[in-house]
Amino acid sequence: MGSPIICGFNTGQHMILDASDKCHKAAFDFGRSGINRQFDIKVTQYACGDENGGPDGCLQYFTGNTGTFASFNFPTSSSTVASTVTHLSNQCYTICFRQEQGKCAICYSTVIMGTAAAIDQGSFGLSKSSLNSAAKGRQDTGCDTDYLQIPGAQRDAEPAAEMFVVGSIAAFVHSRICGRFFSFTDAATIDGGVDNTESICTQQRPFRVIFKTDGDEDAIGISSATANEQGQLPGGIIGFHLNFALQDC
């Protein structure tokens, strides 16, 4: 296995690929005939073992104490999330964050909080809701098609008894989050939260998030949020755009 190559994406996104000494080809599949499209690709090559290339198995690698990250195809330069924003299908990759000196945990939150309205969607929406008549989050066993996997995840919320504390393990520690809001509930159920006002934190290291989507978007029942990923708002087809912030030990 050769040197890792960092490939730049539009809207500041990147991919880390292991390279060999052989020729590498970039293949593009454009839909809709009659439309001219183009890519600008920036490639940076690091020597094998260079820390800037990230750990093995990480398609994306972020450094620093704070920053943002997003699913591919998300309009990260926009301050609003249109109803047409759609994540990519058949994704399964790992996003990694370097543990900086003196930092023992990491917290994630939505870049855009938003509400359950077409003109004010938040920057998170993956899969179906756990409530038929209204958009709601899902967690753990309720997430089996499209989801983010955050090992050892805990809520960081009011009141003080539910706030995340480095070195302390909450009564309910979660692993997967999906649905329409980036929010857990303190229960061993599939039900998630109903807003994007909280952070989700973990002290499990290395700091990694796994993004998984299947090949289809469910659309059974026009207004059913539990069967139609586009039924109710925010939509379950959005993907994500999140903040990350490392926490002191």
Distance of alpha carbon 192 from alpha carbon 130, whole angstroms = 8
pLDDT of residue 8: 43
- The answer to whether 153 and 173 are in contact (CB under 8 A) is yes
Which residue ranges form the domains of the chain, and what is each CATH number?
Answer: 1-53 (no CATH), 57-248 (2.60.120.290)
Q: What is the mean pLDDT of residues 75-91?
A: 87
Q: What are phi and psi of 163, to 5 degrees?
A: -80, 145
pLDDT digits (tens, 9 = 90+) for 90-115: 899 999 999 999 999 999 999 999 87
Q: Which pLDDT score, from 0 to 100, does residue 219 have?
A: 67
Q: DSSP per residue over 108-147, as a string? A: EEESS---SSTTS--SEEBS--SSTTS--EEEGGG-SSSE
Distance CA 137, CA 47 (A): 42
What are the pLDDT digits (tens) for 198-219? 899 999 999 999 999 988 777 6
Q: What is the pLDDT of residue 35?
A: 66
Rounded mean pLDDT of 141-162?
88
pLDDT confidence of residue 121: 85
Integer Cα distance of 120 and 177 in angstroms: 21
Cα 178 from Cα 125, distance rounded (Å): 7
pLDDT above 70 (res 127) = yes
Q: Is the pLDDT of residue 246 over 50?
A: yes
Across the range 137-166, mean pLDDT stands at 88
